[in-house]
């Protein structure tokens, strides 16, 4: 058995990438709650919709990745504006 296995390297890289993604999500949620004192229930759903839009545009529609990313951001921004208009946010002091 080799000491340096390629599958071990792949598992380590995948773990680092997934940890970075989760860290970015938690930092965004922390900034929303800490800076503007708003509990935003739909934050994770909007992030996933944006990621799914980039994935679908890139794999199924054949868009270049650098063009699909701004389109995914536009989809997510549209979802944020719709959620804000419908009032899906609440002040943290009102919940406590």
pLDDT in tens, the chain (96 residues): 566 678 888 999 999 999 998 898 888 878 877 777 776 777 778 888 888 999 999 999 999 999 999 999 898 888 777 776 776 555 555 554
Q: Are residues 64 and 20 in the same domain?
A: no
- Spatial CA neighbour of 38 closest among 82, 90, 73: 90
- Spatial CA neighbour of 56 closest among 44, 69, 37: 69
Q: Are residues 47 and 93 in the same domain?
A: yes
Q: Are residues 12 and 41 in the same domain?
A: no
Q: Are residues 51 and 86 in the same domain?
A: yes
DSSP 8-state assignment for residue 41: T
Q: Are residues 89 and 51 in the same domain?
A: yes
Give the global pTM.
Answer: 0.60
**Structural domain harbouring 20:** 1-36
Q: Are residues 50 and 4 in the same domain?
A: no
Number of structural domains, the chain?
A: 2
């Amino acid at each position: 058995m080799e000491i340096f296995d390629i599958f071990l390297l792949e598992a380590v890289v995948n773990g680092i990438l997934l940890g970075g993604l989760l860290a970015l999500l938690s930092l965004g949620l922390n900034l929303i709650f800490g800076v503007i004192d708003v509990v935003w229930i739909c934050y994770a759903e909007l992030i996933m919709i944006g990621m799914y839009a980039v994935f679908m545009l890139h794999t199924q529609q054949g868009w270049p990745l650098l063009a699909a990313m701004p389109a995914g951001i536009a989809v997510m921004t549209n979802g944020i504006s719709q959620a804000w208009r419908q009032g899906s946010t609440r002040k943290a002091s009102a919940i406590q």
